[in-house]
A and B are shown apart, each in its own frame.
Chain A
Amino acid sequence: MIFGLGIAFLLTSALTVAGAVAAAVLKNLVHCALSLTVTFAGLALLYLELGAQFAGFSQILVYIGAVAILVVFAILLTRGAAVPEYRNYSSSWFLGLAIAAAVFALLTWAVTKSLPASETVSAPAVNVQSIGVALMSTYVLPLEIVAVLLTVALIGAVIVAMPESREPKSSLERSGK
């Protein structure tokens, strides 16, 4: 125990912060994306340490399995395989720093306000089944709205990716004969 915090918590938070710093500082974009993945994994470990199995595994499934892949795909499809190295600091670094600090301050304020007054409040026992029951009863409307939103996004992506003209034979196929 150091500063009243467990060794496991200190290690995982150090890993998380190191990944985030590396993602901001490294020059190669793919390296940045991979360090960001380390941060995602560290966050998932923090959730697991707090006993939130469902949130932790969802974090791994969504952020490492999908978001990280999306990021590297976006980099490769837009910049090519040989990633050029960039300047460390963009011209608007001061603005970025200010926004980050403001968001951090807002989150800190929200977290400290929502803390219970007494320290002895025990954490509620949440298992996967109770999350499922809550999603299907109390939060069914938000869940459905999210589902509709995601379906709309999916259809939108298909429409964007569809070819402009829908001729039965494309010119490529005819010239191949």
Chain B
Amino acid sequence: MSFSSKLDQIFILLQHWIAGFFPQALQPVVGTILGVVAIVAAFPGIFALTTVLERKGLGRMQNRLGPNRVGPLGILQPVADGIKSLTKEDIVPLSADALVHFLAPVVLVVAIFLCYAVLPVGRNMVLMNMDAGLLFFFAIGASTELSIFMAGWSSRNKYSLLGAMRAVAQMISYEVPLLLSSVVAVMITGSLSTVKIVEAQSGFTGWFPHWYVFTPWGFAGFVLFVIAALAETNRSPFDLPEGESELVAGYFTEYSGFKFALFFLGEYLGMFSIAGFAITLFLGGWGAPLSVLGFIPSWAWFFAKLFGAIFFFIWLRGTMPRLRQDQLMNFAWKFMLPMALLNLLVAGAWRFLGEGWSRWVICSVVLIGAYVLLGRVLMRGQHLGPRSYRYAD
């Protein structure tokens, strides 16, 4: 085995080496446990790093310093935050439903960790290569909505309940375009397995990779998927459920101490997993962006892309104002859904038009035409003049 392929498989070799100390019968179990431990250690680690990156990045965009007291350049801030949330008093409101109040963050974090089971983070690096991997991801992702409802309802607080209702309505509305926009990748690959979807994108033409995002339907699907993913994870500009200027903190208003930290963790882990699936479906998963860069290990590419996605999310949060509830729903049902459905048709046409340049032209023209037409029609009634204030004039 050459050095670069050894480096590529270093975690797999490590797993086999550790499992080798155990008797033959226990080895599969030990291997699985090691994989689970790696996931449970790696992604919360990225979460800790992201909190400090996000605060630093937002600070830079807002012309201030951000955290800079703990450690060099504020790098150790997550440690201080963790200790703080562990030592804080855990307050449960008197009228709250104690059991459901306790279960909600646990269910959320467990469900989100389950999503990582089918995420390929490198060559041969997936915990379960399931036949229906993508379906598993969406099924588990859908069940996080219930934990958000549990949190909002059990707190017996009107802000919590309002936030939970907003969150659930938003997540259900954007789940439809999320699912439909990812179906194009499944249609072209012919498999629901995440590993096969990545493998189908691993070829190169000259120097350039066969990522789905470089095709008309793939690009449209990727943009729709990213928008829906932002809404699913309640990130800005879709952060209505926890809009702090309107609802205190939405569904986790009544959570304190480590339960609050669990919600925070769950939210960021959900963001990483959905960004990981966007990478898997459209950005070639762990594949290198140029054929000459293939010597860099596959997991390094995956995590580099993941950090790129995180940077993009932070950038959006620093730039975009929050949507209004009616804008949110109109956008989901009048723009996202028709475009996702049209994209399905375009992907089918791409499949049956055969090789050649004609399918590039036809698919691009259809998608761009639909985008322009739909945009024109939806913007017709809107008057985007200077804002008028009802009370503040």
Contact = CB atoms under 8 A, between A and B. Distances in A.
Contacts of B175: 65
A65 B139 contact: yes
Contacts, number: 70
B139 A53 contact: no
B228 interface: no
A160 to B, nearest CB: 16
A58 B172 CA distance: 16
Interface string B98-142: 001000000000000000000000000000001110011011111
Given A64-B146, A176-B390, A69 B138 contact: no
Nearest to A65: B142
A37 B146 contact: yes
A34 interface: yes
Contacts of B191: 129
B139 A61 contact: yes
A54 B135 contact: yes
Contacts of B153: 30, 72, 76, 81
A73 B148 CA distance: 13
Nearest to A61: B139
A127 B192 CA distance: 11
Interface residues of A, number: 25
A82 B153 CA distance: 9
Contacts of A53: 130-132, 135-136
Contacts of A81: 153, 156, 158, 161
Contacts of A41: 143
A30 B100 CA distance: 10
B217 interface: no
A14 to B, nearest CB: 19
B142 A61 contact: yes
Contacts of B190: 129
B161 A128 contact: no
A44 to B, nearest CB: 8
A128 B131 contact: yes
Nearest to A127: B131
**Interface SS of A by simple majority:** helix
Contacts of A65: 139, 141-143, 145-146, 175
A137 to B, nearest CB: 15
A60 B172 contact: no
A68 interface: yes
Contacts of B140: 60
A66 interface: yes
A9 interface: no
Interface pairs A-B: 10 shortest CB-CB: A65-B142, A60-B139, A61-B139, A57-B139, A57-B135, A64-B143, A53-B132, A128-B132, A128-B131, A127-B131
Given A57-B136, A60-B143, A129-B191, 18 more contacts: A34-B146, A53-B131, A54-B132, A57-B135, A57-B139, A61-B135, A61-B142, A64-B142, A65-B141, A65-B145, A66-B142, A66-B172, A69-B145, A69-B149, A73-B165, A127-B131, A128-B135, A129-B131
Interface of B: 100, 130-132, 135-136, 138-143, 145-146, 149-150, 153, 156, 158, 161, 165, 168, 172, 175, 190-192, 390
Interface of A: 30-31, 34, 37, 41, 53-54, 57-58, 60-61, 64-66, 68-69, 72-73, 76, 81-82, 127-129, 176
